[in-house]
Amino acid sequence: MAPGIGTAASDHNPRGNAARGWALHQAASDVIPGGVNSATRYVGHPYAFAGGDGAYVVDLDGNRYLDYHAAFGAILIGHNSPVVDDPVRAVVGTIDLFGLGVTELEVELATRITEVIPSAEMMIATMSGSEATAQAVRLARATTGRQLLVKFQGGFHGWHDAVARNVISAPELAYGRDPLSAGILDSALDSTLIAEFNDLGSVRALFEQYPERIAAVILEPIPHNVGALVPTQEFVDGLRTLTRDQGALLIFDEVITGFRHALGGYQEICGVDPDLTTFGKGMANGYPIGGLAGPRSLMERFDGQKGDVLLAGTFNGYAIGATAAIATIDHLRASPDFYTRTHALGERMRAGLASIVEEVGIQATVAGYGGVFSLYFTGGPIRGYRDLMRNDNQAYAAFHRRMTDAGFLMIPMSLKRNHISGAHTEDDVDRTLEAAREVLTGMKADGTAR
C-alpha cells in the first residue's frame, strides 16, 4: 500500500489523447474521495478504463495496453475469459441471493478447495482477501486464547486494524510503528509484532520476548506486496516447527500466491502445511470472492450452531463469485500446462531483464517467481525488507511509468509487482523486453537510473 512512496503519477500522456479519461476522473472526484475507490488506484494516466480482452486493456480514450498489472494479480487466466464468463452468464437469472441455507454452488466450491489445497479440510467463503485474513486472525485468537500476532515487515494482509501496519515503510519507520491509516486504536497496533522475512531468529526472538502470548504468525509465503521475496526452505520449515512448538498457529496468506504459482498454492510447492490458509484474487479470475481454509478441528469453530467464532456476511458464497471460482479452478485442473507456460514466460522475462540490466550497465536486481517479476533498482542479494531499503524507489516507479507510457501497463509505484497471465505469449514478453531496453537505456542516459 503506502500511497506516495515512490509514486510517479504524471499528467503527460505520450500515447495520445487522455481527454475522456481525465474528464471522468474529474467527475469522479466530485462524488468519490480522490476519484478512486481504493487508495492506490490513482496513478495519473491512464485515468479510466473501458474494457479488457485477454492480456490487454483499453482506456477510455482508446489507448491499448499490454496488461502486467492484472488488477493487482486478480486476473489470472486473462481479461473476460469465456472459460469463466460463460458459466457466470449461465447462472445469472437462475440463482441470485437468498441469504438463508446453502446452495449447491457453495458446496461445490468448498469441495474443490479441499481437493486442491493440501492443508484444507473445510473452508468458509468471504467477499475479499481482507475479510479472509480478518477471520483467520479472529479464529487464531479464539483457538489459542492469546492476543498477539506476528507479521513481517513488507507483508500486506488487508485493510483491517489487526494487520494494517508496516508494509512499504520508509527506512526511518520500518520495524517501528508504521500504521497504514489514521483511526486505528493503539491497542490494535500494539497487538501486532513485526519480524524480518527470511530471518527465523527475528521470529524466535519475539516468542522469547512474549512467551505464551502470541496467537499466530501470518505471512505471504512470497511477499509479493513488495515485489517478490522468495523464502528459503529452511525459513518456512523453521516457521512450521517454531509455531508448533510454541502453541501458535501458522497462517499462510495465499491471496496472491494461491492458484497463481500452483493449484495448491505455495504450500504445495514448499511442502509445508500451515494451520490456516487465506485466498482470493486470482481464484475467480477477477470476480470478487475470497476464503479461508484449514483443518476441521479449527474450522468448526465457525459452526453457527455449535461453534463460538462468528461467521457472518450476506454475500458470502454468492452465486456469481462461487461460479467464477469453480470455473477458474476447473480450468486450472484441466490445464496443467498453464503453470508450465506462465512459469516459462516469467523466466523468459526475468532472464531478458537481467541481460538488459547488464547490457545497459545499471545497478538493478531482477526478482520474481513463476509468472511474477520485479526489477529492483539496487544490488543483490535481496532476501528481506532490510535489503529493499537500499532500493531506489524513484527509479523503480519511473521504470513502471515509462513502460506504461510505452503501452505496457505497470503500476507506477515502488515495489509493486508485475504479473503474467495465461493470455500472455512469448511475443508479448519479447516486445516488452524490447521496450524495457529502450526505457532503461533512456533512464541511464538521463541519470534516472545509475
Q: Which residues pair with 148 in a beta bridge?
A: 214
DSSP 3-state of 250: strand
pLDDT at site 14: 61
In angstroms, the CA 114 to CA 288 distance is: 20
pLDDT at site 12: 52
Residue type, 217: V
In angstroms, the CA 418 to CA 400 distance is: 10
In angstroms, the CA 72 to CA 418 distance is: 8
Nearest to 78 by CA among 329, 282, 374: 282
pLDDT at site 228: 97
Q: Judge if the upstream peptide bond of residue 336 is cis by omega within 30 degrees of 0.
A: no
Cα torsion through 181, 182, 186, 189, rounded to 10: 0
Cα torsion through 249, 369, 402, 443, rounded to 10: 110
pLDDT at site 7: 47
The correct answer on CATH 3.40.50.300 for the domain covering 82-334 is: no
pLDDT at site 361: 97
pLDDT digits (tens), the chain, 450 positions:
333 344 444 545 666 678 999 999 999 999 999 999 999 999 999 999 999 999 999 999 999 999 999 999 999 999 999 999 999 999 999 999 999 999 999 999 999 999 999 999 999 999 999 999 999 999 999 999 999 999 999 999 999 999 999 999 999 999 999 999 999 999 999 999 999 999 999 999 999 999 999 999 999 999 999 999 999 999 999 999 999 999 999 999 999 999 999 999 999 999 999 999 999 999 999 999 999 999 999 999 999 999 999 999 999 999 999 999 999 999 999 998 999 999 999 999 999 999 999 999 999 999 999 999 999 999 999 999 999 999 999 999 999 999 999 999 999 999 999 999 999 999 999 999 999 999 999 999 999 999
- What is the bridge-based pairing of β-strands 408-409 and 64-67? parallel
pLDDT at site 16: 66
pLDDT at site 17: 78
pLDDT at site 88: 98
Q: What is the per-residue DSSP string for 173-224? A: TTTS--BSSTT--HHHHHTEEEE-TT-HHHHHHHHHHSTTTEEEEEE-SS-G
The residues, any chain, with a CB within 8 Å of residue 66's CB and separated by 6 or more, are 55, 56, 407, 408, 409, 424, 428, 431, 432
pLDDT at site 13: 61
Digit-coded pLDDT (tens) for 214-230: 999 999 999 999 999 99
Nearest to 341 by CA among 434, 432, 420: 420
What Å distances lie between residue 418 and 224, 338, 373, CA to CA?
9, 17, 5
In angstroms, the CA 64 to CA 295 distance is: 45
In angstroms, the CA 350 to CA 345 distance is: 9
- Cβ atoms of residues 392 and 407 within 8 Å: no
Question: In the chain, what are the domain boundaries?
Answer: 19-76+336-446, 82-334
Q: Which residues pair with 251 in a beta bridge?
A: 218, 276
Domain covering 19-76+336-446 in this structure, CATH number: 3.90.1150.10
